[in-house]
């Protein structure tokens, strides 16, 4: 593979955020075998190892019984605590 890179015949594939998001959804809903099948298909999804490098685990509060607004607000804070506010606002399309 090193020789192919030197000859210009091999180019590493970069993935877009959309491809990472699709691969994450495929892995979460379909499992590792489904993701591997799509990785080896013409779609060339990212591998499970590549996803695990980018994956984030959240410690969400699970509510037993009737949901409380405090639990909901705590979970929203956990999910979005690392996201910086944008001056551009929210867009529905790219």
Q: Which residues of 23-60 are buried (b: 16+ CB within 10 A; e: fewer)?
A: bbebbeeeeeeebeebbeeeeebbbeeebeeeeeeeee
pLDDT of 6 above 80: no
Give 51-54 contacts, CB < 8 A, sequence gap 24+: 51/20, 51/23, 51/24, 51/27, 54/20
CB 27 within 8 A of CB 34: yes
CB 79 within 8 A of CB 58: yes
Predicted TM-score (pTM) of this structure: 0.52
- The string of pLDDT tens digits covering residues 37-47 is 999 988 888 88
pLDDT value of residue 11:
60
């Amino acid at each position: 593979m090193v020789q192919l890179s030197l000859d210009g015949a091999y180019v590493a594939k970069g993935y877009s955020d959309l491809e990472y998001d699709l691969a994450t959804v495929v892995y979460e809903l379909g499992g590792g075998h489904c993701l591997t099948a799509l990785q080896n298909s013409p779609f060339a999804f990212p591998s499970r190892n590549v996803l695990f490098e980018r994956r984030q685990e959240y410690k969400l509060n699970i509510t037993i019984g009737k949901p409380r607004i405090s639990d909901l607000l705590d979970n929203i804070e956990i999910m979005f605590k690392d996201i910086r506010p944008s001056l551009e606002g929210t867009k529905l399309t790219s």
